[in-house]
DNA sequence: ACAAAACCGATAAAAATACTCGGATATGAT
DNA sequence: ATCATATCCGAGTATTTTTATCGGTTTTGT
């Protein structure tokens, strides 16, 4: 049940874009450096995110990437699904057009995969990039507080 | 976030053993046939489950496998962890001795992976093999009911 | 014109997955 | 005792996925 680097890097990169939202296009190089990701590899992931309509790109000098929507309107679930495919632990419980085997209607294990998918979806679909930015700010505030105690 | 065949086959096989619990040793061949799994491959998975103490094996003619504990006391979570490793989507939020990177304490994405793991664990740790057998019986009852309507 | 930066396609090493095969060993039934 | 039945064990292997790397093309602000 591991997440591959695609999903991990993708969420990190999108979080980085959310933190710099409103500052114009953010260059891939900076994102890769701040998040500790191979630049060329991240480029491929950004292409996927762009084709999925989650980010916009501006080419040429001073170009970069911008979130296609406000951070409030992009969930972690969307990002992961775009980069890793459906959240479902098996094909037979995919959100859309699941490939069910012939005994799916009476398959008991299937009900378990379904519950796993639903539980996971509830978590990732409820977290937006704005939430992450807010949490990061909060954490930063707590750090400063520590110096005064 | 896919489950590999290891976890899927493992849960299916353990469910099969639970359905036949009390009938003495169940041969691998039968399990493989009923669940549609390659016999030799399942053998390897059973070895892992045996070493983890989830099943006992009886060698020789009329031999086979038996659940090491009552179906009430074996959860789906245990089976999946044994065959697939920790439920955690990343190493840094593993249940025991997680391999954290140096910025783990302030890592915002890490809190997400943590929530995913917790949510998933809650589901799979709350389902026992006995629950699955009960659900299967219930489903069978409903099928019979359909003929009478 | 130039440098910055996204875009694109190909390649490739490494790891994981999903088996397959052949034989060794144990044991209940005849 | 023999034999068929089953588990046990180690090795091999084709395929896929992952995780990149590389080199060049195009776009565009300065």
Confidence of residue B140 (pLDDT cuts 50, 70, 90): confident
Q: Angle of helix A5-19 relative to helix A39-51, nearest 10 degrees?
A: 80
Taking CB atoms and an 8 Å limit, are A89 and B2 in contact across chains? yes
Asked whether the predicted pLDDT for residue B121 surpasses 60, the reply is yes
What mean pLDDT is predicted for residues A108-132? 98
- How close is the nearest chain B Cα to the Cα of A61, in Å? 30
Kind of pairing between the strands at B55-58 and B64-67 = antiparallel
Q: How many domains does chain A have?
A: 1
* CA pair distance A32, A51, nearest whole angstrom: 20
Q: What is the pLDDT of residues A15-56, one digit of tens each?
A: 999 999 999 999 999 999 999 999 999 999 999 999 999 999
Full DSSP string of B88-102: -SSGGG-SSS----T
* CA pair distance A148, B3, nearest whole angstrom: 47
Give the residue among B113, B107, B108, B121 at the shortest CA–CA distance from B90. Answer: B113
Question: Which pLDDT score, from 0 to 100, does residue B38 have?
Answer: 97
Asked whether the predicted pLDDT for residue A149 surpasses 70, the reply is no
What is the C-alpha radius of gyration for chain B, rounded to an integer number of angstroms?
18
Full DSSP string of A43-111: HHHHHHHHHTTSEEEE-STT-EEEESS-GGG-BHHHHHHHHH--S-SSGGG-SSS----TTGGG-HHHH
Nearest nucleotide to A30, CA against C1' atoms:
C5
Confidence of residue B18 (pLDDT cuts 50, 70, 90): very high
Q: What is the CATH number of the domain that holds A71?
A: 1.10.10.10
Question: Which pLDDT score, from 0 to 100, does residue A148 have?
Answer: 56
Nearest nucleotide to B61, CA against C1' atoms:
D5
Q: Which two tokens stand for residue B99?
A: 């391999």
Q: What is the pLDDT of residues A78-105, one digit of tens each?
A: 999 999 999 999 999 999 889 998 889 9
**Residue B45 contacts residue B10 (beta carbons within 8 Å):** yes
Rounded mean pLDDT of chain B?
95
What mean pLDDT is predicted for residues A57-61? 98
Asked whether the predicted pLDDT for residue B147 surpasses 80, the reply is no
Q: What is the pLDDT of residues B47-75, one digit of tens each?
A: 999 999 999 999 999 999 999 999 999 99
Q: What is the 3-state secondary structure (H, E, C) of A101-123?
A: CCCHHHCHHHHHHHHHHHHHHHH
* CA pair distance B83, B124, nearest whole angstrom: 14
Q: Which two tokens stand for residue B91?
A: 């190493």
Which residue range is the domain that position A69 belongs to? 5-148
Taking CB atoms and an 8 Å limit, are A84 and B136 in contact across chains? no
**Residue A84 contacts residue B90 (beta carbons within 8 Å):** no
Taking CB atoms and an 8 Å limit, are B135 and A84 in contact across chains? no
């Amino acid at each position: 049940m591991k997440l591959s680097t695609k999903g991990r890097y993708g969420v990190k990169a999108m979080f980085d874009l959310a933190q710099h939202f409103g500052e114009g296009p953010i260059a891939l190089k900076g994102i890769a450096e701040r998040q500790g990701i191979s630049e060329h590899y991240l480029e491929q992931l950004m292409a996927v995110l762009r084709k999925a309509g989650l980010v916009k790109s501006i080419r040429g000098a001073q170009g970069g990437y911008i979130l296609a929507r406000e951070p409030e309107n992009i969930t972690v679930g969307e990002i992961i699904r775009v980069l890793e495919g459906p959240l479902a632990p098996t094909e037979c419980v995919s959100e859309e057009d699941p490939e069910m085997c012939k005994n799916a209607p009476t398959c008991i294990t299937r009900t378990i995969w379904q519950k796993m998918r639903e539980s996971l979806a509830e978590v990732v679909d409820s977290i937006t990039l704005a939430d992450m930015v807010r949490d990061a700010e909060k954490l930063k505030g707590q750090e400063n507080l520590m110096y005064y105690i």
